[in-house]
A and B are shown apart, each in its own frame.
Chain A
Amino acid sequence: MSSTWASLANLVAAVLFILALKGLSSPRSARRGNLLGAAGAALATLIVFFTGVDPQNIILILIALAIGAAIGWFAAKRVQMTQMPQMVALFNGVGGGAAALVAIIEFLETRNARATLESIGLSPDTGLDYRLAMIATVFTVIIGSVSFSGSIVTFLKLQEIMTTRPVVLPAGKYITMLTAALVVILGIWVIAAPMTWMVIILALLALFFGVLFVLPVGGADVPIVISLLNAFTGLSVAASGYVLNNVLLLVAGTLVGAAGTLLTQMMAKAMGRPLTGTLFGAFSAVSTQGGQGSGVDRPVRSGSPQDIAIMLGYSRKVILVPGYGLAVAQAQSTLRELADLLTAKGISVDYAIHPVAGRMPGHMNVLLAEASVPYDQLKEMEEVNPEFASADVALVVGANDVVNPAARTDKAAPIYGMPILDVDAAQQVVFLKRSMRPGFAGIENELLFDERTTMLFGDAKDTLTKVVAALKTL
Chain B
Amino acid sequence: MDNVGLLTIFVLSVFVGFEVISKVSSILHTPLMSGANAIHGVVLVGAILVTMQSDGGITLIMGLLAVILGAINMVGGFVVTDRMLEMFKPRKIEGGQQ
Complex formed: what's the CA distance from A364 to B76 in Å? 21
How many whole Å from A72's CB to the nearest CB in chain B?
A: 3
Tell yes or no: A375 within 8 A of B by CB: yes
Known contacts: A37-B35, A227-B33, A241-B46. The answer to whether A98 contacts B69 by CB under 8 A is yes
Known contacts: A41-B78, A69-B71. The answer to whether A255 contacts B59 by CB under 8 A is no
How many whole Å from A223's CB to the nearest CB in chain B?
A: 8
Type the 1/0 row for A366-393, where 1 means its CB is closer than 8 Å to any CB of B: 1001101011101010000000000000
- A94–B72 touching, CB < 8 Å: yes
- A366–B20 touching, CB < 8 Å: no
Complex formed: what's the CA distance from A45 to B54 in Å? 18
Known contacts: A24-B35, A259-B20. The answer to whether A67 contacts B46 by CB under 8 A is no
Known contacts: A249-B45, A256-B17, A262-B21. The answer to whether A34 contacts B85 by CB under 8 A is yes
How many whole Å from B90's CB to the nearest CB in chain A?
A: 7
Chain B interface main SS type:
helix
Number of residues from A at the complex interface, CB < 8 A = 114
In this complex, the interface size class of chain B, counting residues with CB under 8 Å from chain A, is 35 or more
Complex formed: what's the CA distance from A336 to B43 in Å? 42
Nearest B residue to A75 by beta-carbon distance? B76
Tell yes or no: A253 within 8 A of B by CB: yes
How many whole Å from B71's CB to the nearest CB in chain A?
A: 3
- B21–A259 touching, CB < 8 Å: yes
- Nearest 4 Cβ contacts at the A-B interface: A68-B71, A258-B17, A72-B76, A375-B96
Could you tell me which B residues sit within 8 Å of A by CB distance? 1, 3, 6, 9-10, 13-18, 20-56, 58-60, 62-90, 92-93, 95-98
Could you tell me which A residues sit within 8 Å of B by CB distance? 13, 17-18, 20-22, 24-28, 30-31, 33-35, 37-38, 40-41, 44-45, 48-49, 51-52, 55-58, 60-61, 64-69, 71-73, 75-77, 79, 81, 84-85, 87-88, 91-92, 94-95, 97-99, 101-102, 104-106, 108-109, 128-129, 132, 226-227, 230, 233-234, 237-238, 240-242, 244-260, 262-263, 266-267, 270, 355, 360-363, 365-366, 369-370, 372, 374-376, 378, 380
